Amino acid sequence: MLVSLTVGKVDAGVAVLLTQDNRLIEFPSVLLPTNISSGSIVDIDVSRNHAAESTSVANFQSLQKRILNTYGLQTPSAPILRLRNATQTSLVLEWDPINLATASLKSLSLYRNGSKAGSIPRPLEMLSTKISGLAIHTEYTFHLVLRTSAGTYQSEKLTCHTHKMTDLSGITVTPGFMPQPQKEALARAVDRIGGKLIDTVRIDTTHFVCTEGRGPSWEKAVEMNIPVVRPEWVDACEAEGTIVGVRGYYLNADPKHRQLGPRQAAQQQQQLQVTESTIPDTATPATGSQLNLPSRPGPEQVPEAPPTPFPGGPTAISASEGQEEESTNQPSPPPKDDEKSSSKDHEEEDEEEEDEEENEVPEELPQKPSPESKDVEKPSQGQKEGEGELEEVSL
């Protein structure tokens, strides 16, 4: 298409062109011939370039696809929180590496029971944290909140429980320098109590066990404020079935300051008793009052009965009957037929009890008749002579 235009005015950078219907068009003067001036007529050929148009559209669509694939398909993912180890007063939490996609990180915060516990330092490098100072045998809820330039993402809530004092499965021991037999015994003891034995000092290491304080592992444990104890601490925990204080089991601690638990104290007392029993006794034989013989109730002392108002009646009565007579002050007349049979039965029972007591007393001790036995024998002698005891008879 050919268009004829009249040059109206030429400036340094722009030329004013006039159309046949007197419309003004500003046109760059650098695109016009150099020898034109006001009133010159120029012809401009205008056409559509389809090839260049198709190339431009293809380039634009390719750019849009690259932007979509780079920024539109991947988004930051929510962190995944897990429990690594639990003890009586601490929890070790860990999570997967944070996926930010193309977003920028703002912060990573840890929440405990719905309240913010703190921010994680260097969240792109740190993948675990340890929470100490917790209550024994208590439930806690944790979750992470990730804030990025693409939005805020929250992990699922994790419910954790701290252990009881009798639960030793949370003990994680890192062995240090010690003799090989002692290290093998330590591994067996840790396995028996249900703990874990690891070779390196980590964030979940609860105790560093060694006999000498040296080496890089010992230095790292001291730097991380991990208790450094002797192997006897694990044996004490196994013996007591609970967590034992570490103060008496440090490398430079005095063994006398170790607090013995109920089981250890009982075992030590049993050992002392066994030791004392094995020592030969060279002292004089113990008398009857020094022997620890089983106590057996002796025959009750029968008080002297008042004279009976009946002729030919008994001269002694039982203690219970005497109390009844004192309360009532009226003696009941015993039947003549049952009186003799009951007195014989009582006499046979008393003789059997005396025979059993004589058999139980050791031969080394001379048996001395007690005044109680004399009092008991008097009614029996009287019974042989025809006297009997009063006894209540149900009529």
18-43 tens-digit pLDDT: 988 888 888 888 888 888 888 888 88
pLDDT of res. 8: 87
pTM: 0.53
Indicate the residue type of 382: G
pLDDT of res. 254: 84
CATH number of 172-266: 3.40.50.10190
pLDDT of res. 123: 92
CATH number of 81-161: 2.60.40.10
Distance CA 205, CA 202 (A): 5
Measured in Å, how far apart are the chain's first and last C-alpha atoms? 153
SS3 readout for the chain: CEEEEEEEEECCCEEEEECCCCCEEEEEHHHCCCCCCCCCEEEEECCCCHHHHHHHHHHHHHHHHHHHHHHHCCCCCCCCEEEEEECCCCEEEEECCCCCCCCCEEEEEEEECCEEEEECCCCCCCCEEEECCCCCCCEEEEEEEEEECCEEEECCCEEEECCCCCCCCCCEEEECECCHHHHHHHHHHHHHHCCEECCCCCCCCCEEECCECCCHHHHHHHHCCCCEECCHHHHHHHHHCCCCCCHHHECCCCHHHCCCCHHHHHHHHHHHHHHHHHCCCCCCCCCCCCCCCCCCCCCCCCCECCCCCCCCCCCECCHHHHHHHHHHCCCCCCCHHHHHHHHHHHHHHHHHHHHHHHHHCCCCCCCCCCHHHHHHHHHHHHHHCCCCCCCCCCC
pLDDT of res. 263: 57
pLDDT of res. 148: 95
Task: Chunk the chain into consecutive blocks of 10 residues (it has 395) and report each block's average pLDDT, rounded to whole numbers.
Answer: 85 86 87 86 87 94 91 89 94 94 93 94 93 94 95 95 92 94 94 94 94 93 94 92 90 78 57 59 44 47 47 44 46 48 56 56 47 44 45 47
Neighbouring C-alpha atoms within 13 Å toward the C-beta of 2: 4
Tokens 């007349």 identify what position?
A: 333
pLDDT of res. 104: 92
* R_g of the chain computed on alpha carbons: 54
